[in-house]
Structure 1
Amino acid sequence: GIRGYITREATAGDVVATQLTSESNGTLTPMAFGEYSYTFNFTLPDDVDRAMWHRVVIGARRSFDDGSRAGVSASVDFVPDGSAEPVVPDTAMTDRCNQCHQGVEGHGGRWTGVDACLTCHTPQTTDPDTGNTVDFRVMLHRIHMGAGLPSVQAGTPYQIIGNRGSVHDFSEIHLPRPASDCQACHGEDVDEWPDAQYDACTACHDRTAFTAPSPAGFTPHTAGVRPLNSCAGCHPNAGTPTSAAQTHAGVLADPFLGLVGLRFAIDQVTNVEVGQLPVVTFHVFDGDDHPLPVDRLDSLEITMAGPTSGFAWASSTRNVQQGAQPAGDGWRIQLAEPVPDGATGSVAVGMAGYRYVPYGAARAESVGRENGGNPVAYAAIGGGQATPPATEVTQAKCNACHGELEAHGGFRTQVVYCQTCHNATGTDAARRPPDAGEPASIFFGPMVHRIHAGEHLENPPVIYGFGGTPHDSGEVVYPGVLNNCAACH
């Protein structure tokens, strides 16, 4: 592991903990305009391995007359004896953090980027108030698990006490994507992250016991007592159902569980005339692009909305799997509602549906819901060239933070499809209890802005969803820079 040289002692009551720190009491020598040399005040220990990788980080902060401050840090990696190129151990790169955070910084903004974080957040550093390590690989996993930590769910908050006794409570953190999506932070090409290691594993699985008897409140490890740091014996980095990469891939994305995939495709939308019932021809495929019978589905609906210049109306045809008729190796259905009187422009027609599929080693352990995506097709009312909606928010930008955008049970996944129901006239009136006040708008643009602004709003929206479930965005903490419109747009 990383070893730091500049340390301090931090106390809380009678508890004393060692922490890595920085220094600013060395000698700063001007070399040229804007160029300086710094000589450390501390002395290196005698046992320094000069053939090993080292890193030096410098952090600076500037205060302005208006009270604002700006900080930045920089680092250099080197091998003191020059015998080799440094092997940099950064498995969570700054650019991946910035997909959500749009600027990684800590401790007042002076330290920026993962390279600076890793330099002090090593196994050497502990919070004396809570006893929690601030080792980067443990602390970061636990922060991002937040409310999902077994210890938090059992009633123990996850806190770090910082400078001047400031309490940082991460117990209500909800990651905007599955916490098991390791590649979101580590990337696909990193070799180290799939290697199961005790400290990293138990950062998230913090109430799993590897000893017997299990401590109170702990769950025994599935495979029983195991030596610490022997995780990789049963959880290798690839190739088996129990590999670290595979078990974190998610049930429905796991090829070892036998799911073959599901995909919908819209072939054609016809008879799009005012007062007429449009006809939709479509296909249902498995993961190998083999056509499937529509009656294999447990739910399928088609939504039509318009105009694409600014959605103002929508209609849905449900239980399509029961009413569709064969059309070659595909299917055909007439929608339940006509194009409304006075409608002009173009319409969007989208699909959503799923099937329940048994999964597990014997395909009988449980049942998962597999969705077929949300294809959207466009058609001009009265014929002619259809006009798709202007693209203000792309799927890729949503997925940069959310991984795979999904809502309403996981089978609404596409931004354009969301807008067909979340249109200018949409409200939660059909879901809101009579005694819960006036209906709230579910118009996509304003709703999404207000959800992401959550904690900053005086009157955050409470929107009622399926089953009368209230969704209160007042505690949503956006991890990026809220006025950075380009993050989404």
Structure 2
Amino acid sequence: MMKNYNKSLMAMALFSALTLSACGDGKDGQDGAPGTPGTPGTPGTPGAPAGSTVSYVDSAADVTFEIQPADINVAGSGTFAIKFKAMGKTPQGKTVPFTGLDMVQLYSVTVKENTSGDGAPLQWVNNAMTQGLGSSMYCTLTGTYTSRGQNGNACTMVEDASEPGTYTGTWTHAGAAPIMNPNDDLNATHRFFMRAYNIKDSEGNSVSGKVLSDRLDFVPATGELVADTGKDTVTVEACMNCHGNQDGHIAKIRAHGNYENPENCITCHNPDNQPSEEQLAKGWVFDFGPMIHRIHAGHHIADYLSGEDDKDPLQYFGKIGFPGELSECTSCHNNGDSWEQNLYRQACKGCHINVNYDTGEGHSEFSLVQTDDTQCKNCHGAGGLSPAVVHNVGKRAEYADLFKIEAQTATVTDPTPGDGMKTLTVTAKITMNGAPVADGTVLADYMTSTTRGMLIGNIDPNDYAKGSVTALNGTSAAISITSGATLAGGILTNSKEFTDAQLTGTVYVTAEVQVCADKGAVVKCRDGAGTALEGLEFGVDHGLANSAPLAYFNLDDPSGATVIARMDDPSRVTIDEAKCKACHQNLTHIKGTHGVTEFTQCMNCHNENTGRSFHSTVQYDTGTVDVDGNRIFATVPGLTFGQRDLVTVAHRFHSGNWDAPFRNGAYQYPAIYRDKDMKLNGFPGVENDCSACHKDNAKFFAADGGLTSGKRAVLVGSNYITPVAEACRACHEHSDDAALAHFESMGAYVHGGEEFGTTKDLPVESCATCHAEGKEFGVDKMHAN
């Protein structure tokens, strides 16, 4: 280093000597003669002002396209032409022309009336696919393309130098462009959209997700835009209810990425895409409507699917547990009633996979043979056997108040003073089919199960518990409405004995009862011999839940104030029940024979004071099978749960930290589970998207660092643990020593840890120090989807 430094000094000295000697006396020399003027240069093309265009974006959603019917000719047998403008967002959020596109992909489909008698009356036709020319075409700067290992001709794309971001495309090869269908109907509705390739961010990395244009629905003959194609019976918003929203696209489905808006899917999944005989035998179907029906029917039709490979129907969607009621068609078909007009056998067979139309097997009790689709509307058109009618669409919501139980009083008496027991008497007004239930009515005849009844529990008044609930008798917490009860003037009265300590303070009263209903009325579930009646809209295995508004009573002072349950106080609830019902439709079918319609009923069993769990272990799919071909599930060692508070149960179930049911000598797939790599299967949304269930911008931590709910302790057996670590490990399957040590260092009492709390009065965990909203490792950042 010293040698180089000395050389630098010498160079500087030499330079100084030369410059001084040129000046002589230090005065400026005389000006020289003017030189010959140089030849003027060629004027350059004016460049776009800095910041007026962009060639990179942060995300796929930052690129948009402007396409007008007048600027494209992609239909029929004319001359192919396309012109469009691409726009992108600058880092500052300003929308400017996007320059530098080098490859796009074009899709064109047509709505076609089908008079063949086979298939839907209206069908999507892919104009390239119907000619055997693939599903789309490319445009590139060179007029050729390489994609997915294939080479071919493309349209030649040019960016307008005088109008950056504006592109034109022409077809310079022999023959017609692939999406130009000479048999096309130019008076029919067409759909056109594009995909752009090779879009990068400011770091030179490819942006995540496909860059897609909006769909252009139009009539080529007139250029008229079309608002309703008559075929889009499912909107992307319906899919997002379960699958989540990522920049306006469906956030999570197993295949194809963000093509997955139903309006785009039909480009490839249409009647021209038919499975081979081998694929059909395994259960595959590729036309969009039937395929979606079959995928979502998953668990229900798994016995009719086959294939051991992960890409075969049995493994690919035979394990899917649909979270709602399959019969509630409008949970997906939310865009008009055209889904009821486009009737064809294959759509029905998507779910009703066991029907054989050639032999009639399974097609009604009469085994009706049907050789084409022209007869479908004879029975299933508007009227008695329409899809909406036979599937009871919307009836559960319509019938919601047909059986109503409204608590009136809750009083305490002491029949035998000094024995430590008292009697609680509850009265409730019961309304059936809009009228007070008549004296002498045998309510059990109308109920799907007689084990349910009035739900009653204490409200804990202590500040740290903020109104948590405890079942009065520790188990069912129910007073029967069928055994020992009297019924007079529409008022049901029943009593039950409890300990003195239980019958103090505020109690809540609600009910969980399911009844049978048909044709707009509650009806009897069984005939005179006790046999369940068939054909009811809501029968023994598909009951209608009661309506039971939550009521509070102060047992110490009947005229005094009552304490509100934590789950009934909006300020302490971060979950959004409407979001849950958007995916599940209702809570009733989730709990089988329980008459549950809202979370305030769930709290009777699923609260922090239950202290036990029916699903204490966590099992995962090992990826292996036994000698009979049944999947083997194994238990995650050391990971157990000893309570069923609703928060933890919901976290555990939706994150696959559950046990697999064992029936008929084999493990059955749970609705949601972990595989051998601990990857989540079955949950339709994004795993870390808290907003899928919680309120938008929910605050999970209170000012003291505890939970917003006010819950500060959870009972496990006869001891207590703290709730924050329990909620976290329910999703994150933390069970190793390092995780437990971390929890405990934050002041947590953890199931499986070094010690339990012996009282509810536990210190607040320090989790919020790092994980509260706005912190460096806050849940809002770590779970930012």
Q: What TM-score bracket applies, with the shorter chain setting the length?
A: 0.7 to 0.9
Say whether 1:245 aligns with 2:423. no
Compute the TM-score of the two structures, normalised by the length of structure 1: 0.78
User: Aligned equivalents of 2:209 and 2:397: distance in 1?
Assistant: 45
Compute the TM-score of the two structures, normalised by the length of structure 2: 0.51
Pick 1 or 2: higher relative contact order, CA cutoff 8 A, min separation 6: 1
> Which residue in the other structure is 1:140 paired with?
292
1:67 Cα offset (Å): 7.8
Residues 422 and 503 of structure 2 are in contact (CA less than 8 Å); yes or no, is this contact kept in structure 1?
no
Q: Quickly say closer, same or farther: Cα 1:341–1:470, change in 2 above 3 A.
A: farther
Could you tell me which runs of 5 or more consecutive residues in structure 1 were left unpaired when the two chains were aligned. 10-16
> Which residue in the other structure is 1:130 paired with?
279
Q: Quickly say closer, same or farther: Cα 1:195–1:56, change in 2 above 3 A.
A: closer
> Which residue in the other structure is 2:105 paired with?
none
Say whether 1:474 aligns with 2:673. yes
User: SS of 1:51's equivalent?
Assistant: coil
Q: Quickly say closer, same or farther: Cα 1:442–1:68, change in 2 above 3 A.
A: farther
> Which residue in the other structure is 2:355 paired with?
208
1:415 Cα offset (Å): 1.4
Say whether 1:77 aligns with 2:224. no
Q: Quickly say closer, same or farther: Cα 1:77–1:408, change in 2 above 3 A.
A: closer
Q: Quickly say closer, same or farther: Cα 1:379–1:71, change in 2 above 3 A.
A: farther
Could you tell me which runs of 5 or more consecutive residues in structure 2 were left unpaired when the two chains were aligned. 1-122, 141-154, 172-176, 414-419, 461-465, 517-523, 618-634, 675-680, 695-785
User: Aligned equivalents of 1:34 and 1:282: distance in 2?
Assistant: 74
Say whether 1:20 aligns with 2:135. yes
> Which residue in the other structure is 1:447 paired with?
649
Say whether 1:6 aligns with 2:128. yes
> Which residue in the other structure is 2:471 paired with?
314
Q: Quickly say closer, same or farther: Cα 1:47–1:189, change in 2 above 3 A.
A: closer
User: Aligned equivalents of 1:322 and 1:243: distance in 2?
Assistant: 41
Q: What amino acid does structure 2 have at the position aligned with 1:247?
A: V
Q: Quickly say closer, same or farther: Cα 1:388–1:235, change in 2 above 3 A.
A: farther
Residues 436 and 490 of structure 2 are in contact (CA less than 8 Å); yes or no, is this contact kept in structure 1?
no
1:284 Cα offset (Å): 1.9
1:157 Cα offset (Å): 4.8
1:394 Cα offset (Å): 4.1
> Which residue in the other structure is 2:39 paired with?
none
User: SS of 1:421's equivalent?
Assistant: coil
Q: Quickly say closer, same or farther: Cα 1:343–1:317, change in 2 above 3 A.
A: same
Kindly, what percent of the aligned residue pairs are identical?
Answer: 20
User: Which stretch of the first structure deviates more once superposed, 242-251 or 419-428?
Assistant: 242-251
Residues 550 and 600 of structure 2 are in contact (CA less than 8 Å); yes or no, is this contact kept in structure 1?
yes
Residues 59 and 111 of structure 1 are in contact (CA less than 8 Å); yes or no, is this contact kept in structure 2?
no
User: Aligned equivalents of 2:339 and 2:443: distance in 1?
Assistant: 41
> Which residue in the other structure is 1:411 paired with?
595
Q: How does 1:337-348 map to 2 (within 5 A)?
A: 337=498, 340=501, 346-348=506-508
1:388 Cα offset (Å): 4.1
1:200-255 CA-to-partner distances (Å, cap 9, x unmatched) read: 1122222212224x7xxx64663421231034334333321x22211111798599
1:29 Cα offset (Å): 3.8
Residues 487 and 493 of structure 2 are in contact (CA less than 8 Å); yes or no, is this contact kept in structure 1?
yes
Residues 91 and 193 of structure 1 are in contact (CA less than 8 Å); yes or no, is this contact kept in structure 2?
no
Say whether 1:121 aligns with 2:269. yes
Q: How does 1:317-356 map to 2 (within 5 A)?
A: 317-326=478-487, 328-337=489-498, 340=501, 346-355=506-515
Residues 397 and 488 of structure 1 are in contact (CA less than 8 Å); yes or no, is this contact kept in structure 2?
yes
User: Aligned equivalents of 1:95 and 1:394: distance in 2?
Assistant: 17
Q: Quickly say closer, same or farther: Cα 1:292–1:99, change in 2 above 3 A.
A: farther
Residues 211 and 225 of structure 1 are in contact (CA less than 8 Å); yes or no, is this contact kept in structure 2?
yes
Q: How does 1:189-268 map to 2 (within 5 A)?
A: 189-193=336-340, 195-212=342-359, 219=362, 222-240=366-384, 242-249=385-392, 262-268=402-408
- For residue 422 of structure 1, the aligned residue among 588, 596, 606 is 606
User: Aligned equivalents of 1:34 and 1:281: distance in 2?
Assistant: 77
User: Aligned equivalents of 2:454 and 2:133: distance in 1?
Assistant: 61
Say whether 1:36 aligns with 2:182. no
Q: CA RMSD in A?
A: 4.2
Residues 266 and 280 of structure 1 are in contact (CA less than 8 Å); yes or no, is this contact kept in structure 2?
no
Residues 511 and 595 of structure 2 are in contact (CA less than 8 Å); yes or no, is this contact kept in structure 1?
no
User: SS of 1:282's equivalent?
Assistant: strand
Q: What amino acid does structure 2 have at the position aligned with 1:387?
A: I
1:405-441 CA-to-partner distances (Å, cap 9, x unmatched) read: 12042423321111111111325568999xx997742
1:438-486 CA-to-partner distances (Å, cap 9, x unmatched) read: 77421111011110111xx5xx356999xxx999553562111232222
User: Aligned equivalents of 1:384 and 1:117: distance in 2?
Assistant: 58
1:286 Cα offset (Å): 1.8
Q: Quickly say closer, same or farther: Cα 1:271–1:159, change in 2 above 3 A.
A: same
User: Aligned equivalents of 1:269 and 1:422: distance in 2?
Assistant: 25
